[in-house]
Amino acid sequence: MTDDTGRKRARGLDRALDILDHLRAVKAPRRPAEIAQAIGAPKSTVYDLVASLVEHRMLEETGEGGVYLGRRLFFLGLAYQDHFDLTRQAETVLHALTAETREMTQFCMLDGNKYTVAVQVEGRRPFRISADVGQLTPIPWTASGRLLLGGMSEREIMDLVPAEDFTLPDGTQLDVPAWLAEIRKAHAEGFFSFDSIVDTFTHCFAAPVTDRQGACVATVCIVAPKQDAEENYDLYRQRLTEAGRKLSRCLA
């Protein structure tokens, strides 16, 4: 295989992954022409890749010319979960944490240049807070993001995060220098919490899950109503950091 052929195949693989990522992000079927426009790829390339992905059951046709993520991805996900035991361990830890605090708990990770909730256990109270598992969220909007970026340089952080993600849900611009300082502080303390940026009634706590090199690869979180968070701040922080250390031992 020539270098040119190898580069073409690599670009084709990148485009195929772009297609899968786009469908995951929009959470709805799309026609190949719509996908091509969204990812900035030639229509002919996208049509060819979609046909190949359908043939391999990575995509499924949905009628009216649309395609969506295929069931083969589900089985690949199951295989990954069997191998990546941390998610199962996380679910056990979250259930115990929710049983003690009654609050919603989460296990969160980075997915490319976005943040996502990988595992979630809803709170045990009449008024329930919930979030969408797997939804991609701008990293600067999250408490976990301050920890997940802690091992990176400022240049690496700024190269990773898209400029538009510094626009907050209310339309204001994030104070980037203050945000970078929060990342350094969270990394040093092994904890971060703040009143949620995406709503007006919750407080988010996050603690790191670290690998054997000490890098934060995931977080455990508690999302609580502000009043409960204030009344139980020390308890929630203690229990959450203990949960993070327990999961970190799984990676040691």
pLDDT digits (tens, 9 = 90+) for 152-191: 999 999 999 999 999 998 899 999 999 999 999 999 999 9
Give the CATH number of the domain where residue 175 resides.
3.30.450.40
CATH number at residue 34: 1.10.10.10
CA trace torsion 229, 232, 235, 240 (10° rounding)? -20
The pLDDT of residue 89 = 87
Q: What are phi and psi of 117, to 5 degrees?
A: -90, 120
Residue 132: what pLDDT?
A: 75
Query: According to the model, what pLDDT value does residue 9 have?
Result: 66
Based on the domain organization, do 193 and 230 belong to the same domain? yes
- Check if the beta carbon of residue 121 is closer than 8 Å to that of residue 99: no
User: Is residue 79, in this structure, part of any structural domain at all?
Assistant: no
| One domain, residues 144 and 103 | yes
Confidence (pTM): 0.74
CB 148 within 8 A of CB 187: no
> Within the chain, which residues score under 70 in pLDDT?
1-10, 81-85, 126-131, 252
Per-residue pLDDT at 133: 77
Position 83 scores a pLDDT of 61
Concatenated DSSP letters of 115-176: EEEEEEE--SSSS-----TT--EEGGG-HHHHHHTTTS-HHHHHHHS-GGGGB-TTSPBP-H
In terms of domains, do 125 and 245 share one?
yes
Whether 153 is covered by a domain: the verdict is: yes
130, 208: one domain:
yes
Could you list the residue range(s) of the whole structural domain that residue 219 is in? Answer: 84-249
Closest CA to 180 of 167, 161, 195: 161
Both 61 and 102 in one domain: the answer is: no
Tell me: do 22 and 45 sit in the same domain: yes
- Is residue 121 located within the same domain as residue 170? yes
Nearest of 80, 91, 100 to residue 246 by alpha carbon: 91
**Could you tell me if 46 and 97 lie in one domain?**
no
Is position 124 within any domain? yes
Number of domains in the chain: 2
Q: What is the pLDDT of residue 86?
A: 78
Same domain, 231 and 154: yes
Last residue of one domain, picked from the residues 35, 53, 74? 74
Residues 105-134: pLDDT tens digits? 999 999 889 999 989 998 877 666 666 777
Residue 178 CA to residue 159 CA, distance in Å, equals 17
